[in-house]
Chain A
Amino acid sequence: MKVLVVDDEVDIQDLFLQKFRKEIRNGEIEFSFATSGENALVYLHEHESEAILILSDINMPGMSGIELLREIVEKNTKPKPIVMMITAYGDDETRNKALSLGADDFLNKPLDFGDLKERLFKR
């Protein structure tokens, strides 16, 4: 499984790599990272035909997670990437907006990695 994590906090990368160390070692999951919405779009463009699960933070300077989601949905690439949104502002308004725009799941910060693993491998 290929996962693109989009978050402006760089330390999130080490966190994912260590939390999923066993799964990575076993080849069950592969992580890529982007520190902004813009970078994520570039990455997706470069890996167009691959099946990628996107885990994106909402609150980022410049292009926000919501805008990134809108771009991805509008591009309508096949196969359609799975987009899971993560936010520190887990209010209903943001959640509903993300889901109505086509997000596949919605997670709150701080991340519960046990729960995240479950959700990821369900896909």
Chain B
Amino acid sequence: MQNFLIAFFALRFIRTHLNTKESLPQYDQYLKVLNLFIVPFLLLLNFNSFERFLPTINFVWFVVFSAIMYVLWLLRENNLASSLLKAGLPFFIVNSLRDIMEYFFSSFTKENDSIIDLVFLGSLFWMIAFAISTNNQIKALKKEEEKNRLVVGENEKLEILVRERTSEISAQKEQLESTVEELKATQNQLVQQEKLASLGELTAGIAHEIQNPLNFVNNFSELNLELIEELMSPETPRGGIEEEELLSDIRQNLEKINHHGKRAASIVKGMLQHSRTNTGQKETTDINALADEFLRLSYHGLRAKDKTFNADFKTELDPNLPVIEAVPQDIGRVLLNLINNAFYACAERSRAQSKVNGENPYKPLVTVSTLKIDDAIEIRVKDNGAGISEDNMEKIFQPFFTTKPTGKGTGLGLSLAYDIVTKGHGGTIEVESKEGVGTEFIISLNL
């Protein structure tokens, strides 16, 4: 009877703890049937009258226990199943052998009854001890599983958090990247605007500077036509002084036409260079020519814009100034910016003074000078305008800083000039100024 009891509980235990429903689905149903099949045997064996069916009952038990052992063998990869197999196998073998021996060698069994019982008990204890240890193992495993589950839960929470953070960070990164792109686009736009603004200021100057040489080209070519007609006239004696004079004038005028044509062309070239996208390519540059050209353009631009204001300008260009390797458009922009600012400062001072006195003794003057000093060239742009206050001196090279009224200045001119001179050409740009006296910008470029 106790054997069936063991089998009954072993089956229940295996089905529950080894979860045969999932681990061995094809056998689970048989195990369930087997479990129910044992129940009548449990009840029947309480009656002694069934003693005579003992060999059959023992065989049934053998089959049931074999099935249990087989299932455990199938699940031996599982630690619990392997422990149960180790626990039950000696008991199964001993019990089976005892039943076989009782059946076939009953006299021998009776003689050695005590030894066989001892072996049987031994295997039973072995099984119980193993079962207890396995139970402890199960508890420990459960604890471990619980712990693992908690850890897994925590891990999942952490993973979710990490995922959330990651997506937040990548969203922020994308936002930052798009902001940087926007900033770059805006910066380019502003640089372009600054270029256009200074070009706009130049337009009138350019018109005047081109109109003047064109007028000469027209006037002298018309004049030459008249002179040629006079030369061809029968009234002009051949080979005389008059003919010689006429020819010399025609030749002189042609030279003038050529000179003024070139002058207009160089202004257009300068303007195109100023407005086109910079290639950044350094080339042999005549700083004196650039300074002279931009000073004139700036002056006429200012005059065209504000007819009430006039200033004098002069150049003090070093005739021995060597050509340098520079980006002419960039240096041109720097000069144009400094010269425009210089005239602006003169206009400011002139306005402030004429308000005070009816007469204006102030004589505005902008001077651009160049000088070769050792291995460098120096360009100075000097004005006797309003000057820069001490507070503003620190900020003048900062981007977007301007003292001009809204819409009149981008605040980028000097900041770009600073970048062009220092970063673009490895030079220096310094400023000296005194309020009410004037300002001087000094650019130094290495040869």
A interface residue numbers (CB < 8 A to B): 9, 11, 14-15, 18-19, 59, 61-64, 67, 88-89, 93-94, 109-111, 113
CA distance A59 to B363 in the complex (A): 16
Stretch at the interface among B93-101, B162-170, B276-284, B303-311: B303-311
Looking at the complex, which one of A14, A62, A88, A113 makes contact with B312 (CB distance below 8 Å)? A62
**B199-227 near A? 1/0 per residue, CB < 8 Å:** 00000000010011011101110010001
Within 8 Å by CB of B219, from A15, A64, A88, A89, lies A15
What would be 24 A-B contacts, judged by CB atoms less than 8 Å apart? A11-B216, A11-B260, A14-B252, A14-B256, A15-B216, A15-B220, A15-B223, A18-B249, A19-B219, A59-B208, A59-B300, A61-B310, A61-B313, A62-B310, A67-B310, A88-B208, A88-B212, A89-B304, A89-B307, A109-B211, A110-B214, A110-B218, A110-B219, A111-B215
Contact of A94 with B312 in the complex, beta carbons under 8 Å: no
> In whole angstroms, what is the CA distance A15 to B226 when docked?
12
C-alpha gap A94/B306 in the complex (Å): 11
Judging by beta carbons under 8 Å apart, are A11 and B208 in contact? Answer: no
B4 interface contact, C-beta 8 A: no
With both chains docked as a complex, state the minimum distance between the C-beta of A71 and any C-beta of chain B, in angstroms.
12
Closest to A36 in B: B312
Question: In the complex, which residues of chain A have a beta carbon less than 8 angstroms from the beta carbon of B312?
Answer: 61-62
* Interface: B92 (CB within 8 A): no
Instruction: Please indicate the chain A residues that have their CB under 8 angstroms from the CB of B223 in the complex.
Output: 15, 18-19
Residues of A close to B249: CB separation below 8 A:
18
CB-CB nearest in chain B for A59: B303
Chain A residues within an 8 Å CB radius of B219: 15, 19, 110-111, 113
Query: A9: nearest residue on chain B (CB-CB)?
Result: B212
Residues of A within 8 A of B215 (CB): 88, 109-111
Residues of A close to B311: CB separation below 8 A = 61
Q: Give the nearest-CB partner of A64 in chain B.
A: B310
**B253 interfacial by beta-carbon distance below 8 Å:** yes
